[in-house]
Amino acid sequence: MTVPAHAELDATRPADAVALLRTTDAVRRRSAQLLARARSGESRWFVVDHDAMDGAADDVATVTRERFPDMRIPWHSRWRHFEAGGVDRRAELDSLLGDAGGDERARAMIDLTVVSVLLDAGAGADWRYVETHGDSRRTFARSEGLAVASWHAFVSGMFSGDAARPLRVDADALSTLDKERLGAALQVSPGNPLVGLDGRVALMRSLGDALAAQPEVFGERGRPGFLFDRLAADGTVHAHDILVQLLASLSRIWPSRNVIGEDSVGDCWRHDAVTGPGLTAGWLPLHKLSQWLTYSLLEPFDWAGVEVTGVGALTGLPEYRNGGLLLDHGVLRLRDPEAATRTWGPGDELVVEWRALTVALLDELAPLVRDRLGVDAEQMPLACVLEGGTWAAGRGSAQRLRGGLPPLSVTSDGTVF
């Protein structure tokens, strides 16, 4: 792994403090701090009921068996959403790539994955995407809809600045993307509103600027796909190294609301109860979208023949399906039920703590799920528990209880949830 040991970092220096907060070890340790605090009754917002974990584990195990009766569970990944409607869009992209070599296929799939994941914040309950596929028309919503929409935008060449090479993403195309074009690709209209469209456009443009500014990582044209060349040269890649590279190279794309010194820390939030050395004190890193992107990049590397190791270093994803599962099963309870009637911001302490507790409790839930399914962590790593899994069970409980809505309302600019 390329992650420096904590002993090598001087957390009084901004650059080292940021490096420490870009590790999943920091995500796990600090989330566990807040879970221990909540269990001791010190949380202002939540009560933790450990006995309710059994019901949550039963639900996740049942959903996993229903979805994967043969127990061949893939990694949690954006590529599952590209399979929406039973369509093998990976095979379709392979066909469209024609006689491209293996490395270029990997670059194209990484290109697609990066833009699709970064567009994959909550769409809202009212948005739909209608796909015309042959003679059929299919309607998709939420994550599947955004995946299918971004796939079509990609294969149409929207993200390429070279008309002769449409199946790629480059800095030129992203830097000039506007709300009208992205909105049209996502079929946004007054009757089909998408939450956070402005934030998605800003994120794509910022991504383009970041790609262009780092030719040593992304090549002269600024392609996300050149992560393949940078990380897989020796035929193996550690999952945490992918995440660290993403956080280092793409930190500038996130809104600069959270910074240490001059460096953006991204999906990392203030919570006064979090302890840590030096400038890291009071910061809770989560890196949900960057970790979701990392999970989603594992398969393109694997398909290209690269050995992917260390998948267990990544954490559970602190988003509203996983967090909702815990609230819906009573593992977490709001001290004040009226909190569920308010709209919160991503930096509000209640939301920061909810997400931290989600990370820590997913680590505790995973072995309970494995026990029920008769498998071990090697057979079913956390990436498969999430896919099997917690995300689908959380979506199911949301559908049963609230017509699909999350248990807490959190404003989104397209860069967190």
**pLDDT for res 135:** 84
**pLDDT for res 4:** 46
Amino acid identity of residue 276, one-letter, is: G
Q: What total of structural domains would you count in the chain?
A: 1
* The pair of three-digit structure tokens given for residue 380, joined into one six-digit string: 């079913």
Work out the average pLDDT over 360-389.
Answer: 98
Question: From CA 126, how far away is CA 172, in angstroms rounded?
Answer: 32
Q: Which of 75, 74, 117 is nearest to 311 (CA)?
A: 75
In a domain, 416, yes or no: no
pLDDT over 90 at 7, yes or no? no
pLDDT digits (tens, 9 = 90+) for 327-372: 999 999 999 999 999 999 999 999 999 999 999 999 999 999 999 9
Q: Of 42-51, 52-61, 394-403, 404-413, where does mean pLDDT reach its minimum?
A: 404-413
In a domain, 29, yes or no: yes
Contact residues for 394 (Cβ-Cβ < 8 A; gap 6+): 320, 321, 322, 323, 324, 325, 328
Question: pLDDT band at 241, cuts 50/70/90?
Answer: very high
Q: What is the pTM of this model?
A: 0.94
**pLDDT for res 344:** 96
In a domain, 114, yes or no: yes
**pLDDT for res 415:** 67
Question: From CA 375, how far away is CA 71, in angstroms rounded?
Answer: 9
**pLDDT for res 159:** 99
**pLDDT for res 122:** 78
* The pair of three-digit structure tokens given for residue 391, joined into one six-digit string: 């995300």
Can you give the chain as a three-state secondary structure string? CCCCCHHHCCCCCHHHHHHHHCCHHHHHHHHHHHHHHHHCCCCCCEEECHHHHHHHHHHHHHHHHHHCCCCCCCCCCHHHHCCHHHCCHHHHHHHHCCCCCHHHHHHHHHHHHHHHHHCCCCCCCCCEEEEEECCEEEEEEHHHHHHHHHHHHHHCCCCCCCCCCCCCCCHHHHHCCCHHHHHHHCCCECCECCCCHHHHHHHHHHHHHHHHHCHHHHCCCCCHHHHHHHHCCCCEEEHHHHHHHHHHHHHHHCCCCCEECCEECCCEEECCCCCCCHHHCCEEECCHHHHHHHHHHHHHHHHCCCEEECHHHCCCCCCHHHHHHHHHCCCEEECCHHHHHCEECCCCHHHHHHHHHHHHHHHHHHHHHHHHHCCCCCCCCHHHHHHHHHHHHHHHHHHHHHCCCCCCEECCCCCCC
Q: Are 116 and 147 in contact (CB under 8 A)?
A: yes
pLDDT digits (tens, 9 = 90+) for 139-154: 999 999 999 999 999 9
Question: From CA 62, how far away is CA 311, in angstroms rounded?
Answer: 24
Question: pLDDT band at 6, cuts 50/70/90?
Answer: low
**pLDDT for res 256:** 62
**pLDDT for res 362:** 99
pLDDT over 50 at 382, yes or no? yes
Q: Which of 323, 287, 309, 291 is nearest to 78 (CA)?
A: 291
**Burial (CB count within 10 angstroms: exposed 0-12, middle 13-18, buried 19+), residue 314:** buried
Question: pLDDT band at 125, cuts 50/70/90?
Answer: confident
Residue 132 has a CB neighbour count (10 Å cut-off) of 9
In a domain, 415, yes or no: no
**pLDDT for res 103:** 96
pLDDT digits (tens, 9 = 90+) for 207-230: 999 999 999 999 999 999 999 999
In a domain, 1, yes or no: no
Question: From CA 211, how far away is CA 250, in angstroms rounded?
Answer: 8
In a domain, 58, yes or no: yes
Question: From CA 248, how far away is CA 263, in angstroms rounded?
Answer: 10
In a domain, 244, yes or no: yes
**16 is in which domain, residue-wise?**
6-410
Residue 378 has a CB neighbour count (10 Å cut-off) of 8
Question: From CA 165, how far away is CA 160, in angstroms rounded?
Answer: 7
pLDDT digits (tens, 9 = 90+) for 26-75: 999 999 999 999 999 999 999 999 999 999 999 999 999 999 999 999 99
Q: Of 248-252, 309-313, 387-391, where does mean pLDDT reach its minimum?
A: 248-252
In a domain, 21, yes or no: yes
